[in-house]
Structure 1
Amino acid sequence: MLCFWGAQVREGFELVKPDQVKHGKCGLRSLCPRTAVQDMSAGRSFAGFIQDGKVSVLRLRSEDYDHDGKLKQLQLKNKIRLIVCGGDGAVLLANGGKVLIMDKSTVCKPLKGLENRQVIQIACGDHHSVALTNDGQVFVWGENSHGQLGSRKDHPGSPSAQHVQSLSGVPLAQISAGGDHSFVLSLSGVVFGWGKNSAGQLGLGDTTDRHVPTVVNSLNQKKTVSISCGGEHTATLSKGGTVFTFGSGGCGQLGHKSFRDEHHPRVVAELWGSEVSQVTCGRHHTLVSVTSSKLIYSFGCGMQGQLGNGEMIKQSVPFPVDLPTECNHDYTIEKIIAGENHSFALFFKELESKGISNPSRGVLTLNDRMIDRWLSGTDPWATIKQEINAVFSSAASLNGSFLKINCDDHYQMSEEHCGLDFDLVKSSFAKLSENKSLISEVVKVVEQMLRSLNPNPVGVESLRVYLLVPELIRRLKKQQKTELTEALATKILQLDPDSHKVLEKYWSKLPDDWLKSLVKIFRRASAELIGQISCGKMGCDLTRRLKKFLKILQMIYQVCCSANRDIPNRDFIIHEISDLLDTLQATLEDLQLRLQLLQLLRLLQLLQSAMTEDWEDMLKLKDFYFVTINILVKFPFVADNVSKRRIFHSLQCQLFRFRANGKVLHINRESVWLDTLTYLRKKKHSFRNPLQVTFIGENGVDMRGLSAEFFSLLSQSLLKWENKVLEVHESSLVWFNPDGMQANRDFYYLGVICGMALYNLHYINIDFPLALFKKLLQQRPTLNDLEELSPVEARSLKSLLEEDEDEVVDMLFLDFTFKGKKLIPNGDQIQVTKVNRQKYVDLYVDFVFNKSVKKQFKHFSRGFFKGCPLDAWSMFHPEELQELLHGSPKYEWKELQQCASYEKCSASDELIKNFWTVFFELSEENKKKFLIFLYGTDRVPVGGFSKRSLKILLSDCPDADDRLPEAQTCFGILILPKYSDINTLRNKLIHAVSFCEVFGRG
């Protein structure tokens, strides 16, 4: 049954004879044609009806026509499923998904641009139309005067269908078009609007037109299930029946008891609790239906009776339409239609409804039934391939699959919540992977789909695909994994910054096994490439791909760190880096041997071209290894500490290898710091050259022993320096003197010395706190760092934070100052309370480590970068960098004995036994003095004593008891005379280590 009311029309629309039209109250009329009306629509110029797949249209009276036309059946080959009438014509949708356009003269033509598409929904505005295809793509055509086509601002409009690319990937549930604006709705209830916004009909809080789809944020998580656009207003319906309206309210069509425009979506309060099931907007009026109570409400312009209340008024609150009695008993409301000046309602009997009604179809999505059917093999392979292509070639289809619909969880879709059912994804892909043919076809289609992804997606739902594909990759074989992983990495890196941030948020909330799997995928891909390079493969393509994978790993690593995810650092370590370094070392050694051979052949004039070619190939390979290592430096989290030290050493050796020896630094022991300053201020030192040191008045060639001693002596001088650049704290750790501003260059040269020590792989005997190395690596020191430097001070601050009683905090009488200096403006007038104490502590720590020494650190860091021209040091963690500059804090003296070797004696000799007995008797201070005597520094190498050689050489001279032990500091050799007894050995050793300047050799 068709019920209608509003402006005068040809009696019965000629669907039935005039005497078969039933007249009810308030101008309502109803009719029951012999052939039921399956669908209908009414616009400004036409009303259209579908009966048994055939379309009839009737021209409505308007400004151009002062009478209704006759009902005309359109002669079409295809059966029509839907009709939507717009401003001047209509759009028809055939059962096969083809779209036809009807113009003013009722001539129908196929729409260009959708020939190979299956359309599932259509919508019409005044001068534009919208179509939704089964793979989730939105197409538009018509005028673009206000941006209603969703294209660029200067787009002139188009008579053929144009793809709205910005919506690609969004799984859509519905489209709608109004006067000159458009809306779409996603499966998760996200609303996008664009076009004319003069009355706020886009719900964005302003009246500015939009030329691209824009999310209506105020409707997020409102569980929107349908949208309807009117002339200049819009209505949305939420699950549960809540109606929101916005836009033009001049005729009361918003239902808010007013005639004001609304720029934000606002609940129609009068309908609260009515569980509305449908809402539709006409030109200036709105209809809603409540299926459970079989009621239709209307509001807005009723000047031609289109409200169905018997009055020609404008009504600003919903009021029930006086429907015929039989509507309440025998029929249910199937569809309501609001046109220009008319209103319609299609009623079906319940039995008829199942076969006649025409609900909007949704985007094709993957589900268990589809997968089970593919696995069963009942369908032909060609059909299965077609379906696989339909689902997996569309990001929108994939993004609409696997939604977590329990408790409407998918409606919570946001930048924090992706709405996926991870268990469903896992089980679905596990099923697919059981069949090799199926999974191979899926991979092929997905790889093509990835290439087409929009790098600037308009909605966060578009990003679900980046969470789904890794789970697919996880179940693939090696070759398939690599290719698909690279395609995925490429598209992730192409995403715009805002999308990157959202994707990283999604990663931060992934289940542990998913996040670990994500790490494993990109770590494995990186490891495979590094392995290939280690085996001698070269090419820009290898390093380009490696950078991609490492960049993704870096993103995930940073997410794990910032979100405090329990993913251990070792999960990111690529152990194949060690193999690459082994290969590089072997190549360098081989090159050295070949260089010697080539020099010999040149002397003998036997050099052959084949040798030259082989030499050039090895040089290219060596250079490619260094290119790869320089890439790894930028991604330090993938290398363990040992590999990072090896990388740093390799790059340092590479620089040394291509540098001639620089000037030797001549230094007096008594004035080491002043001599060094004088030398550095001449600005003639080449910091890239290996450092060479000679102590004036002493014989000895620097084979690293003298330079090690040089830095040890410098450290002592700096701590005693009268300029007080550094100050020692209660913890015995050293920090910048905040009052040492009189000599900025002193801080600069302090940084230069520290940088030189690091670059030359020597140690500084100045105990800086970890905070310094955090700052060098651009990390912020914390309260724990203050506790390391000043334990008492930090414990007081911690007690302040832990205090439960407000009164106790107040009685401390603290304000926002530090030693008389204001931490914030007017800090001396702001008391520290329980409310603001965390801010006070943060400012306190920031002042100690940052503000109070801002200029000092600036000059220090500038000098540090100068002294260490190899920026690969930035790949270390603060603790690792601290150990590189200070040495290991652990003195495992037994390890020193275990790593010792012997010449002209053995460990079982009485003299050697006596030596170790005496050594272990020494005080901790004298043991460290022994290290200075033997190596020139008392610092333990990173990795322990095993990383430094110790050889004890027996000196069998006739006057042994009169001689002192000697040391060759450059080689770690202790020359030990053959003493007659343990007491003589003890006395001579203690004397030697106490005056090691005299007895050490270079």
Structure 2
Amino acid sequence: MLCYWGAQVREGFGLVKPDQVEHGNSGIRSMCPKLKVQDMSAGRSFVGFIRNGKVSVLSSDGKLKQPQLKNGRIRQIFCGGAGAVLLSDSGTVVIMDKSTVCKHLKGLDNRQVIQIACGDHHSMALTKDGQLFVWGENSHGQLGLKKDHPSSPSAQHVQSLSGIPVAQISAGGDHSFVLSLSGVVFGWGKNSAGQLGLGDTTDRYVPTVVNSLHQKKTVSISCGGEHTATLSKGGTVFTFGSGGSGQLGHNSFKDEHHPRVVAELWGSKVSHITCGRHHTLVSVASSKLIYSFGCEIQGQLGNGEVTTQSVPFPVDLPTECNDEYTIDKLIAGENHSFALFVKELESKAKSNPSNEVLTLNDGMIDRWLAGTDSWATIKKEINTVFSSAASLNGSFLKMSCDDHYQTSEEHCGLDFDLVKTSFAKLSENKSLISEVVKVVQQMLRSLNLNPTGVESLRVYLLLPELIKHLEKQQRTELTEALASKILQLDPDAHKVLEKYWAKSPDDWLKNLVKLFRKASAKLIGQITYGKMGFDFKKRLKRFLKILQMIYQVCGSANKDIPNRDFIIFEVNDLLDTLETTLKNLFWRLWLSAFTEDCQDVEKLRDCYFEIIKILVKFPSAADTVSKQRMFVFLQWQLFTPRAILLNGNMLQINRESVWMDTFAYLRQKKHKFCNPMQVKFIGENGIDGRGLSAEFFSLLSQSLLKWEKKVLEVHESSLVWFNTEGMQDNRDFYYLGVICGMALYNRHYINLDFPLALYKKLLQRSPTLNDLEELSPVEARSLKSLLEEDEEEVVDMLFLDFTVKGKKLIPNGDQIQVTKVNRQKYVDLYVDFVFNKSVKKQFKHYLRGFSKGCPLDAWSMFHPEELQKLLHGSPKYEWSELQQCASYEKCSASDELVQNFWTVFFELSEENKRKFLMFLYGTDRVPVGGFSKRPLKIFQSDCPDAEDRLPEAQTCFGRFILHKYSDINTLRDKLIHAISFCEVFGRG
């Protein structure tokens, strides 16, 4: 049954005889055509009907026409201001102008259209794969193709929405709307009355998200002449735009620039909305009522009133509408209103998946695997879904508890568990997965790198799970293509994608890490064996950049993914090959045996060095030992063996005035920081083979702490930090930095216990409250107690203000009390003051000196913890490891003398054990990687006067000379005396 009301038209529309039209109250007319009305639409020029796949149109002059079409059955008709658009069962589009002349729409060849919307002078079409096309005038940007884009008679692709899974499209007078599957609303075009709901009256020329409708669970949208209505899942209606005729239903005639709830409909659970030129209709399925509001001049509200109506009132429907019929379609035209009713049984059986974008789901995959459809049909579906980012982005949404409606920059809306199980099943069939890969490769090339909405980014979450199940070659190719696209995304999209990663399940994120680590490892392996493919450096950078992005996300989100998962252990093989190559070249040069084939080896060497220079920019890619090796290799590039011999940077100093002598030496500005340094203690024999310089830095550290200028302050934790008060000047902190930089560059330790915060600052990372707890435990615990306090009164009673030691943290900080509301800000500012503001000048000069002392900026590849160990040594003393790593000369581990030595050694106190290290190596620091990274050679001396000799050490070689003492007690006395008074012995 069809009911209609409004402006006078030809009685019965030519569908029934005039006497078969029933006249009810308030101008409502109803009829029951023998030939069922399948679809209808009303616009400015036509009212159109479809019956049995054929079109009938009634023009504004009252003439009924039936256009002759050669496209078979017509499924839907859409009437606009300038004509009508017809959609066939096959998805082809035909345009009909005011004279009912029909022609094919150009620009939609081989595309299956599922939805159409018509405005006054423009139209829109949505295809099965989720692509939006527009045509017509673009006077106000209603085509969404940017401001200067001309009007177009043929269909144009709206590329900015190419990744959005669209649920519905709607066109108004000169404005357009799109609704996504997750309820995100996009609007564009004319906005003179605020009909875009963006809070202003400025036209938009590209699709723009209506943020005020965010997470309102919008399920339907309708555009009028200059107003818009949206419907939420719970039945709430929002309207906005022109309100001059009361068409917004807000009991006023004002325009609304933001979506506003129609309060009179609150609780009615509206099921359908539609906007006409100046009026609005809504229906409530449960009560079978239709409400109307807006312009009533020609009776289009259907309630007997003849004036405009600004609040919803029920339409006077015939009583039989409430009995056995239910509303199937509601249409508000120019000055007409229509309600198409169907029998309730027909309504319950009716479903229309043909107007929905095709998306991938678990059931579809099951059907493919079962083989119930032909291979041609399956291939067509695969091509539709996997060639379209929009289709993929609308797949596997988490529908439970309406979770997908929460889609935002923080929430992707995907059901990760469903994604994993579905792709795992898909991978079981090699034919299917092979076809999918071919289509995905094409889709990746067409991805929009400047997406309009966050839903476009779901594809970057889905594809890694798919790639995980592919064969090695396919996996590598797609991983590389995916990495390239991720890196080309605009900065805003990058940030959102990183937020999605941060919120993803740990196992999914681990798979992502594994994917790009494997790809990196494979490429480095090929490079190691000289198999350099096309653009291998650029390709490696892509993988490493993605890995570094994920690493930073894991760190900031506190993800339970260890650093080890990011390490590419194949880097060590590359370094081994480089070392062999360098030794080969060195000896050839040394022996003057340089031949033509050496040129190829040199090219290989240069290539390896280029790879190292790439790797040092990605701290997560290698372990500490590999980074140390890279650091050494890059040093080799800065100097040559000849430069070392001719310019050894010999530093001659007195033990008693080590700091002042060093200070005087550095002020001469003769030191070549790129070359290795050597140390000679005045009045002592010995050549520095690293042992003397190691001792030099140990002595220098002690002198710095005792220096009367007190550049460093020892805290309660025994850690040191910059002294902010005293008689030091900028040069003191500069030279402190130079010394630390020189120690790092020359691979020595400095005995200054800085907190981890210093190394974070060097690497441009922000210290935290935990870092303050390391430096000043009491101070930090007080701040933590402040943050954990539940009672607001207790916080107030602490009488804290925004100052630290009399220094204001913010303007007027001494007048602002710390409360439960602002305490986090106070703590953040407190930590910032201690580590940054209070030492800004000191650290600035220290950093400048550090960079001077260590001219190789590759130190930035280390993590803060690694840099701390490299400069200060490892805090862990695994003494048993020292014994395990020892080697023996002229003796063996089973000899009584050696066994006596180890017995005595393990009896020593912790302090004396460290003194032994100082005696043996010139430093008591443990190298990164443990004692295995430093040699210990025990040499047994057979001199006849052993009882009169003390043990000796050749620090440069880690050689411990042990005389053949007669018993363990003698050995004990001699060893303790040697390590306690080792400064009197010259060693080299």
| Same fold (TM > 0.5) | yes
Moved more, 645-654 or 551-560: 645-654
After TM superposition, give the deviation of residue 596 of structure 1 in Å: 4.5
After TM superposition, give the deviation of residue 818 of structure 1 in Å: 2.7
Partner of 2:86: helix, strand, or coil? strand
Of 287, 292, 299, 2:286 maps to 292
Partner of 2:535: helix, strand, or coil? helix
Contact 1:450-1:488 at 8 Å conserved across structures: yes
Number of the residue aligned with 1:629: 612
After TM superposition, give the deviation of residue 512 of structure 1 in Å: 2.9
Contact 1:395-1:449 at 8 Å conserved across structures: yes
After TM superposition, give the deviation of residue 761 of structure 1 in Å: 0.4
Q: How does 1:602-1001 map to 2 (within 5 A)?
A: 611-613=595-597, 615-657=598-640, 660-661=643-644, 662=647, 663-740=649-726, 742-802=728-788, 812-907=798-893, 911-912=897-898, 915-916=901-902, 919=905, 924-978=910-964, 989-1001=975-987
Q: How does 1:137-148 map to 2 (within 5 A)?
A: 137-148=131-142
CA offsets per residue over residues 561-594 of structure 1, 9 Å max, x none? Answer: 2222222222222222222222222333333344
Number of the residue aligned with 1:41: 41
With over 3 angstroms needed to count, the CA separation of the structure-2 counterparts of 1:351 and 1:989, relative to structure 1, is closer
Q: How does 1:370-409 map to 2 (within 5 A)?
A: 370-409=364-403
After TM superposition, give the deviation of residue 965 of structure 1 in Å: 4.4
Partner of 1:245: helix, strand, or coil? strand
Number of the residue aligned with 2:243: 249
CA offsets per residue over residues 284-321 of structure 1, 9 Å max, x none? Answer: 01111223323221110111111112232111011112
After TM superposition, give the deviation of residue 116 of structure 1 in Å: 1.7
With over 3 angstroms needed to count, the CA separation of the structure-2 counterparts of 1:461 and 1:838, relative to structure 1, is closer
After TM superposition, give the deviation of residue 253 of structure 1 in Å: 0.3
Of 554, 563, 567, 1:560 maps to 554
CA offsets per residue over residues 661-701 of structure 1, 9 Å max, x none? Answer: 23422323333222222232233322111112223344433
Contact 1:931-1:938 at 8 Å conserved across structures: yes
CA offsets per residue over residues 168-216 of structure 1, 9 Å max, x none? Answer: 1211111110000001111222111110111111111111111111111
Contact 1:38-1:357 at 8 Å conserved across structures: no
Q: How does 1:223-302 map to 2 (within 5 A)?
A: 223-302=217-296
Of 56, 59, 63, 1:70 maps to 63
Partner of 1:293: helix, strand, or coil? coil
d(CA) in 2 for partners of 1:147 and 1:667?
A: 79
Q: How does 1:150-549 map to 2 (within 5 A)?
A: 150-350=144-344, 361-539=355-533, 541-549=535-543
With over 3 angstroms needed to count, the CA separation of the structure-2 counterparts of 1:469 and 1:921, relative to structure 1, is closer
Number of the residue aligned with 1:17: 17
d(CA) in 2 for partners of 1:693 and 1:635?
A: 34
Amino acid of the structure 1 residue aligned with 2:715: H
After TM superposition, give the deviation of residue 238 of structure 1 in Å: 1.8
CA offsets per residue over residues 811-861 of structure 1, 9 Å max, x none? Answer: 554443333333333333444455544444433333222222111011101
Contact 2:126-2:132 at 8 Å conserved across structures: yes
After TM superposition, give the deviation of residue 536 of structure 1 in Å: 2.2
Contact 2:195-2:257 at 8 Å conserved across structures: yes
Contact 2:685-2:986 at 8 Å conserved across structures: no
1:123 aligns with 2:117: yes
Moved more, 407-416 or 971-980: 971-980
Q: How does 1:22-33 map to 2 (within 5 A)?
A: 22-33=22-33
With over 3 angstroms needed to count, the CA separation of the structure-2 counterparts of 1:900 and 1:367, relative to structure 1, is closer
Contact 2:396-2:419 at 8 Å conserved across structures: yes
After TM superposition, give the deviation of residue 897 of structure 1 in Å: 4.2
After TM superposition, give the deviation of residue 120 of structure 1 in Å: 0.9
d(CA) in 2 for partners of 1:293 and 1:909?
A: 101
Amino acid of the structure 2 residue aligned with 1:573: I
After TM superposition, give the deviation of residue 165 of structure 1 in Å: 0.4
After TM superposition, give the deviation of residue 277 of structure 1 in Å: 1.9
d(CA) in 1 for partners of 2:905 and 2:635?
A: 35
1:5 aligns with 2:5: yes
After TM superposition, give the deviation of residue 252 of structure 1 in Å: 0.2
After TM superposition, give the deviation of residue 940 of structure 1 in Å: 2.5
Q: RMSD of the TM alignment (CA)?
A: 2.6
With over 3 angstroms needed to count, the CA separation of the structure-2 counterparts of 1:476 and 1:261, relative to structure 1, is same
d(CA) in 2 for partners of 1:177 and 1:983?
A: 100
Gaps of 5+ in 1: 61-67, 603-610
CA offsets per residue over residues 45-80 of structure 1, 9 Å max, x none? Answer: 2222222222222221xxxxxxx2411111111222
d(CA) in 2 for partners of 1:340 and 1:329?
A: 29
Moved more, 155-164 or 902-911: 902-911
With over 3 angstroms needed to count, the CA separation of the structure-2 counterparts of 1:977 and 1:142, relative to structure 1, is same
d(CA) in 2 for partners of 1:893 and 1:70?
A: 103
With over 3 angstroms needed to count, the CA separation of the structure-2 counterparts of 1:918 and 1:659, relative to structure 1, is same
CA offsets per residue over residues 787-807 of structure 1, 9 Å max, x none? Answer: 332334334444444555666
d(CA) in 1 for partners of 2:342 and 2:911?
A: 100
Moved more, 337-346 or 372-381: 372-381
Contact 2:105-2:155 at 8 Å conserved across structures: yes
Contact 1:43-1:340 at 8 Å conserved across structures: yes
d(CA) in 1 for partners of 2:909 and 2:241?
A: 87
CA offsets per residue over residues 517-561 of structure 1, 9 Å max, x none? Answer: 222211221221122222222246222222212222222222222
After TM superposition, give the deviation of residue 747 of structure 1 in Å: 0.3
Moved more, 2-11 or 124-133: 2-11
After TM superposition, give the deviation of residue 282 of structure 1 in Å: 0.7
Q: Identity over the aligned pairs, expressed in percent?
A: 83
d(CA) in 1 for partners of 2:791 and 2:310?
A: 57
d(CA) in 1 for partners of 2:415 and 2:916?
A: 65
With over 3 angstroms needed to count, the CA separation of the structure-2 counterparts of 1:798 and 1:454, relative to structure 1, is closer
After TM superposition, give the deviation of residue 894 of structure 1 in Å: 4.5
Contact 2:212-2:259 at 8 Å conserved across structures: yes
Of 561, 564, 572, 1:570 maps to 564
d(CA) in 1 for partners of 2:902 and 2:566?
A: 43
With over 3 angstroms needed to count, the CA separation of the structure-2 counterparts of 1:958 and 1:430, relative to structure 1, is closer
Partner of 1:1001: helix, strand, or coil? coil
Moved more, 115-124 or 891-900: 891-900
Question: How many equivalent residue pairs?
Answer: 984
d(CA) in 1 for partners of 2:216 and 2:100?
A: 41
Gaps of 5+ in 2: none
Contact 1:174-1:226 at 8 Å conserved across structures: yes
Number of the residue aligned with 1:608: none
CA offsets per residue over residues 87-121 of structure 1, 9 Å max, x none? Answer: 12111112221111122222111111112211111
Contact 2:709-2:727 at 8 Å conserved across structures: no
Contact 1:38-1:356 at 8 Å conserved across structures: no
